[in-house]
Chain A
Amino acid sequence: MTLRTEPFVINMGPVHPSTHGVFRMRVTLDGEVVVNLEPVFGYLHRGIEKLAEERTYTGFVPLTDRLDYVSSMSNNFGYCLAVEKLAGIEVPERAEYIRVIMTELQRIAAHLVSIGSFFNDCGAYFTPFLYMFRERERVIDLFEMTCGQRLLYNYMRPGGVSQDLPDEFMPALNKLIPQLKKYFEEYENLLQNNEILAARARGVGILPKELAINIGASGPTLRGSGIRWDIRRADPYSIYNRFEFDIPVGEQGDCYDRYRVRMEEMKQSLRIVEQAAKQVPAGPVRSKVPHLIRPPVGEAYSHIEAPTGDLGFYLVSDGGIAPYRCHIRAPSLMNLTALRDMIVGWKVQDAILTFGSFAITMGEVDR
């Protein structure tokens, strides 16, 4: 006797422990195997791009915080660069250094969240997650010291940063750097040679090189597939060409590689912070910028290497006090387009793991 079976559809999300926000996957399952997957997003759409048209150039900075809410500093940075390019604003030397330190610290904080939740998706019951959050707290403490906020910083402005670093910042940073190095070692001991992790993540959810390029993937997702492409090197912005750092890449583009790339990137970020902290010059932190910026008619595109990938801001000015059009290139969204190809044929558990290895933030996907 043969039993008749048929695939069934299951809605994972929008409220689900592992969808990192309000993402929904319509998954068709044949037993445990995913035979089809349809990503559905838009549950967190707030129309941020449209809101930009009704705010001044400076007034839009707090809204950029709310894109990828675990890496607000990077978003601020990317947007301010675009405005500066559009309006031709010069940035003082000290502000450049502060921006780089902040963005790289933010990259560490964001990658800690990504790796932590990746392990949660993998089923490690919150231990790596809480370890990572312990160190993230230390980084966040520095941000709080500087701008009073712990999640949405609203720290950078076109033409510099909102306020200078407090006196206690540099000693605290110099104390944190060796601590973080020690903690990274601790993670490696806990996670790197874990047999179950290898069994779960090695060779699972492979993103081939060609596909990665064709969908326009970026960030650790792209580098995990073995492509050495980092905006900090490929199209240097700010003062990144003054620092020494390596671009870690993966081998075959599986979940394990993406995790390793993030881990190595944190170490490289720390290297940059170390170099920058030694070189910070004295001086003003914000150039003379009028309260209402009126850029000349034209357009500007500027992109940075955010923790999730290539974050771009495209601004069009009609000469008024608000952008005529603002478009945001969200790396999370671009990376997600590969999801179906990567997951079909794998088990449900792999689907969750692969999705987690992108480390997307719904705030950025839906905007």
Chain B
Amino acid sequence: MNPWLNWVIFTIVILVFFLGSVIMFIYMERRVLGKMQARIGPNRVGPFGLLQAIADAVKVLMKEMVTPANADKVVYWLAPIVVFAPVLMVFAVVPFANGALLADLNIGILYVVAVGSISSIGVFMAGWSSSNKYATISAMRMVAAVVSYEIPLVLVIASVVVVSGSMSLNDIVLAQQNYPMLLLQPLAFLLMFIAGCAEINRSPFDLMEADSEIIAGFHTEYTGMKFAMFYLAEYGEAVAMSTIIATLFLGGWQGPFLPPWLWLVLKVFFVFFLMVWTRTTLPRVRIDQLMSLAWKFLFPLALINLVITGAEVLAYPLGIPWYFIFVNIAIGAVLVLLFSRLYKVGGGRVAVG
């Protein structure tokens, strides 16, 4: 195909997929949250409140843009864009059907990790430039959290890459022909889900927007369209993370009967549903617990998982046999139980001189 035509088609596809998913995610989050919290949720605008997100977008567009007097103006204006753009770029390597993707990079998943972490710079810019103390605290928390959680995330992805033997997302999906990676790498899925939630700041790791402590975190001072950009980026990150998890572990576009793109969308929404579920159920962790979870729990488990996966692949170079599904589930369960024993909770007072 003509590369330019390919570019035009997939840019449109990605934009439609992205914006559509974001709007549906916002609606779904509010609606599911409502149902789980014994209330109704949005039901006024459009049928079943489906147009609520659009009404909110229009409202936000008409708001006044306020810039704090002491803000670092350039950085303050640039931050929403820096946050938003990389989120969109992630989708360039996501396959919607076999071979149907904007760019079949042979280092696809590495590109996702690299580009995805740029938006944290934008968040730090926003927090720093607002000249607001809550925003500064939030920005500091953000840097600490992202640096910590990037490592287990990459290690988990590495074990998936080891099994599938490729870094291209399309090849990873093709490698899940017989059964999804979730069955072969159950521990990796768990770790990826936890680290992913922390990476995109979803509850219970939403420390940088902890509304009960630091108001709205880094976007406390943002209003109007700039705020909407953050909001969009937040849900965009959720779409991106759900898509990556769905692609790596749930078999991406693969599935019987339905068209491939619909399978992908269904899986993405399923992953996001899990995220909403954890959000309604769990309280927030503390910053030092967030750190120790990353370094004492996720990091060693991800390393062990990588070693075990490597050994399995080395032993069966032609493909890991199906009964390793049960072996891996057992290994994962034992490891999680073992490490949760070692993991101490509570306390945490610091001596103040």
Name A's B-contacting residues (CB within 8 A). 8, 10, 16-18, 29-35, 119-127, 130-131, 134, 190, 194-200, 202-204, 344-350, 352
Contact B352 A349 (CB under 8 A): no
A-B contacts besides A196-B284, A199-B286, 11 pairs, CB < 8 Å: A10-B133, A18-B212, A119-B283, A123-B212, A123-B284, A194-B282, A198-B345, A204-B347, A204-B348, A347-B348, A349-B207
Which residues of A are found within 8 Å of B12, using beta-carbon distances?
A: none
Contact of B137 with A by CB under 8 A: yes
Which residues of B are found within 8 Å of A346, using beta-carbon distances?
A: 348-350
| Partner among B133, B203, B345 whose Cβ is within 8 Å of the Cβ of A199 | B345
Return the CB mask of B195-226 against A: 1 if under 8 Å, else 0.
00000000110110011111100000000000
Main secondary structure of the interface of A (DSSP, over half): mixed
Contact of B37 with A by CB under 8 A: yes
> Closest residue of chain A to B214, judged by CB?
A348
Contact A195 B212 (CB under 8 A): no
Which residues of B are found within 8 Å of A127, using beta-carbon distances?
A: 36-37, 280-281
> Closest residue of chain B to A191, judged by CB?
B283
> Closest residue of chain B to A190, judged by CB?
B281
> Closest residue of chain B to A195, judged by CB?
B345
Which residues of A are found within 8 Å of B38, using beta-carbon distances?
A: 130-131, 134
Known pairs A131-B37, A204-B347; A349 contacts B210 (CB<8 A): yes
> Closest residue of chain A to B134, judged by CB?
A10
Contact A123 B283 (CB under 8 A): yes
Q: How many interface residues does B have (CB within 8 Å)?
A: 39
Which residues of B are found within 8 Å of A195, using beta-carbon distances?
A: 345
Q: Measured between alpha carbons, how far is A346 from B213 in the docked complex, in Å?
A: 14
Contact B285 A120 (CB under 8 A): no
Contact of B62 with A by CB under 8 A: no
Which residues of A are found within 8 Å of B133, using beta-carbon distances?
A: 8, 10
Contact of B39 with A by CB under 8 A: yes
Which residues of A are found within 8 Å of B214, using beta-carbon distances?
A: 348
| Partner among A123, A126, A204 whose Cβ is within 8 Å of the Cβ of B37 | A126
Known pairs A18-B213, A123-B203, A130-B38; A196 contacts B346 (CB<8 A): no
Contact B212 A352 (CB under 8 A): yes
Contact of B289 with A by CB under 8 A: yes
> Closest residue of chain A to B288, judged by CB?
A347
Which residues of B are found within 8 Å of A8, using beta-carbon distances?
A: 133
| Partner among B37, B281, B348, B351 whose Cβ is within 8 Å of the Cβ of A350 | B348
Main secondary structure of the interface of B (DSSP, over half): loop
Q: Measured between alpha carbons, how far is A124 from B281 in the docked complex, in Å?
A: 7
Contact A196 B282 (CB under 8 A): yes
Known pairs A33-B352, A35-B352, A197-B283; A130 contacts B346 (CB<8 A): no
Which residues of B are found within 8 Å of A199, using beta-carbon distances?
A: 285-286, 289, 345-346
| Partner among B137, B281, B285 whose Cβ is within 8 Å of the Cβ of A348 | B137
Return the CB mask of B283-296 against A: 1 if under 8 Å, else 0.
11111110000000
> Closest residue of chain A to B287, judged by CB?
A32
| Partner among A123, A134, A194, A345 whose Cβ is within 8 Å of the Cβ of B352 | A345
Q: Measured between alpha carbons, how far is A32 from B144 in the docked complex, in Å?
A: 12
Contact A130 B37 (CB under 8 A): yes
Contact of B156 with A by CB under 8 A: no
Which residues of B are found within 8 Å of A200, using beta-carbon distances?
A: 283-286, 289
Which residues of B are found within 8 Å of A131, using beta-carbon distances?
A: 37-38
Which residues of A are found within 8 Å of B233, using beta-carbon distances?
A: none
Contact A124 B213 (CB under 8 A): no
Contact B350 A345 (CB under 8 A): yes
Q: Measured between alpha carbons, how far is A260 from B58 in the docked complex, in Å?
A: 45
Which residues of B are found within 8 Å of A18, using beta-carbon distances?
A: 212-213
B232 to nearest A CB, angstroms? 20
Which residues of B are found within 8 Å of A130, using beta-carbon distances?
A: 37-39
13 residue pairs from A and B, CB less than 8 Å apart: A17-B212, A30-B352, A35-B352, A122-B212, A123-B204, A126-B33, A127-B37, A197-B283, A199-B286, A199-B346, A346-B349, A348-B213, A349-B213
Q: Measured between alpha carbons, how far is A30 from B204 in the docked complex, in Å?
A: 24
B208 to nearest A CB, angstroms? 12
CB within 8 Å of A: which B328-353 residues? 345-352
Contact A123 B280 (CB under 8 A): no
> Closest residue of chain A to B276, judged by CB?
A125
Contact B286 A344 (CB under 8 A): no
Contact B134 A349 (CB under 8 A): no
- Interface hub of B39, B350, B351 (most chain A Cβ within 10 A): B350
B138 to nearest A CB, angstroms? 11
Q: Measured between alpha carbons, how far is A139 from B223 in the docked complex, in Å?
A: 40
CB within 8 Å of A: which B299-353 residues? 345-352
Contact A123 B287 (CB under 8 A): no
Which residues of B are found within 8 Å of A17, using beta-carbon distances?
A: 211-212, 215
Which residues of A are found within 8 Å of B281, using beta-carbon distances?
A: 124, 127, 190
Q: Measured between alpha carbons, how far is A18 from B284 in the docked complex, in Å?
A: 14
Which residues of B are found within 8 Å of A120, using beta-carbon distances?
A: 212
- Interface hub of B37, B213, B284 (most chain A Cβ within 10 A): B213
Q: Measured between alpha carbons, how far is A190 from B206 in the docked complex, in Å?
A: 20
Known pairs A18-B212, A127-B37, A195-B345; A345 contacts B284 (CB<8 A): no
> Closest residue of chain A to B345, judged by CB?
A199
| Partner among A10, A31, A33, A202 whose Cβ is within 8 Å of the Cβ of B346 | A202
> Closest residue of chain A to B34, judged by CB?
A130
Contact A349 B37 (CB under 8 A): no
Which residues of B are found within 8 Å of A190, using beta-carbon distances?
A: 281
B93 to nearest A CB, angstroms? 32
Q: Measured between alpha carbons, how far is A200 from B289 in the docked complex, in Å?
A: 9
A329 to nearest B CB, angstroms? 30
Which residues of B are found within 8 Å of A347, using beta-carbon distances?
A: 286-288, 348, 350
Q: Measured between alpha carbons, how far is A349 from B290 in the docked complex, in Å?
A: 12
Contact B346 A125 (CB under 8 A): no
Which residues of B are found within 8 Å of A203, using beta-carbon distances?
A: 346-348
Which residues of A are found within 8 Å of B280, using beta-carbon distances?
A: 125, 127
